[in-house]
């Protein structure tokens, strides 16, 4: 065999040794409040296309997700719709130290079925029972899910809760409450402004005063005991300009000023 022909496979083998291995795609599991569904799905799709990593997101009420994490669910990142559930996980030692930060802010609104509902002024003079007629007021679980907790607090602050408490149709999460109004099963509902913006079958007829409830803040953090490199990268991305554009297009307000995201 000619020397050149015998040399060829040796050279090829050497090339195989020195060529770098392609980076292996990683999965990041995110537990996120149901109200983030539209924005986070868009952000995750763009991020996956750019990085090759797989972003798997479980959406539900913050309370349900927090309990799953407490029971050992394998999540890398948790984004809650209020601070209380994140506080509880932090107290339990389930957050990676130094990774918690406030990500987003939101507001709650009164919505009606259809696109031509008349606006109302939300105050202590609002006659909600008259607006409901024979129907019910759709809300997320008022003692467990943040959207429901905020909504109940606002109604209590305005002195309206006793009038409507027996008429509330409670749903497992805020998107389920939105669906009750969107399909016409309930004439009115209380949801986040961002949820209402995502559904063309409902009208926002009023915004609850900011001082009628606690500030609506979405904290985000990595969870302890997980391989954190890919998760840290995605969490950093959520604070960046590309994610900011998507969040703000959905009606969220970034908790940190522009330029402060990592």
Give tens-digit pLDDT for 202-252.
999 999 999 999 999 999 999 999 877 999 999 999 999 999 999 999 999
Q: Are residues 161 and 126 in the same domain?
A: yes
On whether residue 14 sits in a domain, the answer given is: no
Q: 179 and 140 share a domain?
A: yes
Helix (H) or strand (E) holding 74: none
Residue-range definition of the domain harbouring residue 79: 27-105+217-254
CATH of the domain at 92: 3.40.190.10
pLDDT tens column, 139-190: 999 999 999 999 999 999 999 999 999 999 999 999 999 999 999 999 999 9
User: What crossing angle do the helices spanning 37-51 and 229-238 adopt, rounded to 10°?
Assistant: 120
What sign for the dihedral angle of Cα 201, 171, 190, 82?
negative
Q: Which residues pair with 33 in a beta bridge?
A: 60
Q: From edge to edge, which strands make up the β-sheet containing 188-192?
A: 168-171, 137-140, 188-192, 108-113, 202-207
For the cut 60, the answer to whether the pLDDT of residue 93 exceeds it is yes
259 pLDDT above the threshold of 80 = no
Based on the domain organization, do 93 and 223 belong to the same domain?
yes
| Number of Cβ within a 10 Å radius of residue 211 | 9
> Looking at the predicted structure, is the pLDDT value of residue 1 above 60?
no
User: Domain for residue 176, yes or no?
Assistant: yes
Q: Mark whether 117 and 196 lie in a shared domain.
A: yes
**Tokens 């209402």 sit on residue:** 196
What pTM value is reported for the model?
0.81
Burial of 231 (0-12, 13-18, 19+ CB in 10 A): buried
Structural domains counted in the chain: 2
Query: pLDDT-based confidence at 21, cuts 50/70/90?
Result: very low
Residues 192 and 144 in one domain: yes
What gap in Å lies between CA 128 and CA 123, rounded to an integer?
10
221 and 179, same domain (yes or no): no
Average pLDDT, the chain: 90
């Amino acid at each position: 065999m000619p020397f050149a022909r015998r040399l060829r496979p040796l050279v090829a083998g050497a090339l195989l040794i020195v060529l770098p291995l392609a980076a292996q795609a990683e999965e990041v599991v995110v537990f996120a409040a149901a109200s983030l569904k539209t924005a986070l799905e868009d952000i995750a799709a763009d991020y996956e296309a750019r990085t090759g990593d797989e972003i798997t997101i479980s959406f539900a009420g913050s309370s349900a997700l927090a309990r799953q994490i407490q029971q050992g669910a394998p999540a890398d990142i948790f984004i809650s719709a209020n601070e209380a559930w994140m506080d509880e996980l932090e107290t339990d030692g389930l957050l990676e130290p130094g990774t918690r930060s406030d990500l987003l802010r939101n507001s709650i609104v009164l919505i009606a079925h259809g696109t031509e509902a008349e606006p109302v002024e939300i105050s202590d003079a609002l006659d909600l029972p008259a607006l409901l007629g024979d129907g019910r007021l759709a809300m997320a679980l008022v003692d467990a899910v943040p959207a429901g907790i905020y909504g109940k607090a606002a109604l209590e602050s305005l002195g309206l809760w006793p009038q409507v408490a027996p008429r509330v149709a409670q749903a497992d999460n805020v998107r389920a409450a939105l669906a009750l109004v969107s399909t016409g099963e309930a004439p009115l509902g209380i949801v986040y402004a961002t949820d209402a913006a995502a559904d063309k079958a409902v009208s926002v007829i009023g915004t609850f005063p900011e001082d009628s409830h606690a500030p609506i803040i979405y904290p985000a953090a990595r969870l302890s005991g997980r391989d954190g490199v890919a998760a840290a990268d995605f969490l950093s991305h959520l604070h960046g300009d590309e994610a900011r554009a998507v969040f703000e297009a959905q009606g969220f307000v970034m908790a940190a000023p522009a330029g402060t995201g990592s």
